Amino acid sequence: MTTITAQQKEHLKVLQREEINGHFTYAKLAGVVKDANNAAVIKHISGEELKHYNVWKSYTGEDIKPNKFKINLYYWIAKILGLTFGIRLMEQGEEKVQVIYSKLLDDVPEAAQILADEEKHEDELMEMLDEESLRYAGSVVLGLNDALVELTGALAGLTFAFKDSRTIALAGLITGISASFSMAASDYLSNKADDDGKNPTRSAIYTGIAYLITVMLLILPFLILSNYMVSLVWTLLNAILVIALFNYYISVARGYNFKQRFFEMAAISMGVALFSFLLGNVISGWLGVKSS
């Protein structure tokens, strides 16, 4: 048995804790996977994590209790937000321990093989994952993008034109709901024509629902508050929040660059909103429309 230092023992205990948490998390996730082959892959990885735990235990001589909170957290994240997102988020956490592996490779013989196993596990998981929600991510992006850009701009323009929260909310709802059905119909026809393997009806539903949810979040401030300028500021903050949350989800699930996608989408939405706000000011003055 290789002799390890006190510091190396602490490093190994960190790895040991990660392995036992991974073992129980994957075992729990395997129970919610409907596809038998995918469930078998996850169960196999769960078993491998336990083997790795026992290897590290042989060095530390200690039992490490699993973190039940962390296990349940990842389980419910996967249940609510999708298996792909949950597993990728968990794998991101595991990547942080690779720094520890680099410190052990020269002194602990098993470290190189276990690190290779971990990388293999990630490859197996990424090849396996193909959720419907991500196959139709493009449809969700279409609905979100259009609702954020079009309705944020429209609400900004309506704010200066009408200067009344209820009137702005009414006009925004009519515009947003009509646009959501129009966007869903366009997406349906587009996918039917392209014949790219996606179900046109499901794609249209994802697009329409994403658009409607965004519409409600953007209009909500005008329904709650009477001050139209405060409502507009709240709406813009809601838009930024939606952009941040969605892009974080996609960046984790798809491995995209979060900052690049977030700032690009936010800049477009806020730019259109500013232009529309100024345009509403100009047009209302030109037509002689005054607030009541």
pLDDT score at 155:
83
**128-159 pLDDT tens trace:** 665 555 566 666 776 777 787 778 878 877 88
Q: Are residues 260 and 276 in the same domain?
A: yes
3 state SS of 67? coil
- Give percent above pLDDT 90 in the chain: 15
Alpha carbon distances (Å) from 264 to 206, 252, 268, 269, 276: 23, 17, 6, 9, 18
pLDDT score at 220:
93
pLDDT score at 292:
47
**189-241 pLDDT tens trace:** 877 776 666 778 888 888 888 888 888 999 999 999 999 889 988 988 888 88
Query: What one-letter code names the amino acid at 82?
Result: G
Low-confidence winner among 87-96, 106-115, 184-193, 226-235 (lowest mean pLDDT): 87-96
Q: What are phi and psi of 171, to 5 degrees?
A: -65, -40
Q: Are residues 141 and 269 in the same domain?
A: yes
What is the distance between the alpha carbons of residues 211 and 222, in angstroms, rounded to a whole number? 18
Give the sign of the dihedral formed by CA 164, CA 167, CA 171, CA 173.
positive
Q: Are residues 103 and 139 in the same domain?
A: no
Asked if residue 1 is part of any domain, the answer here is no
| pTM tops 0.95, yes or no | no
Asked if residue 184 is part of any domain, the answer here is yes
Q: Domain boundary residue among 67, 96, 130?
A: 130
Nearest to 243 by CA among 287, 282, 223, 273: 273
Q: Domain boundary residue among 130, 153, 186?
A: 130
**33-77 pLDDT tens trace:** 877 877 888 888 899 899 989 988 988 989 999 999 999 998 988
pLDDT score at 231:
92
Q: Which residue stretches of the chain are H helix?
A: 6-30, 36-60, 68-81, 83-95, 98-104, 110-128, 132-135, 137-146, 152-162, 165-194, 200-224, 228-254, 258-287
Q: What is the mean pLDDT of residues 246-250?
A: 80
What is the distance between the alpha carbons of residues 211 and 219, in angstroms, rounded to a whole number? 12
Q: What is the domain count for the chain?
A: 2
Encoded tokens for 135: 């196959």
Burial zone of 95 (CB within 10 Å; 0-12 exposed, 13-18 middle, 19+ buried) = exposed
Residue 36 half-sphere exposure toward CB, CA atoms < 13 A: 0
What is the distance between the alpha carbons of residues 148 and 240, in angstroms, rounded to a whole number? 9
Where in the sequence is the domain holding 241, given as residue range(s)? 133-287
Q: Are residues 105 and 138 in the same domain?
A: no
Angle (CA) 198-38-140 rounded to 5° is 30
Assign 127 a pLDDT band (cuts: 50, 70, 90). Answer: low
Q: Which residue has the tokens 């197996």?
A: 124
Asked if residue 233 is part of any domain, the answer here is yes
Asked if residue 292 is part of any domain, the answer here is no
Low-confidence winner among 65-79, 119-133, 166-180 (lowest mean pLDDT): 119-133
Q: Are residues 144 and 265 in the same domain?
A: yes
pLDDT score at 230:
93
Encoded tokens for 247: 């892009």
Q: Domain boundary residue among 130, 150, 180?
A: 130
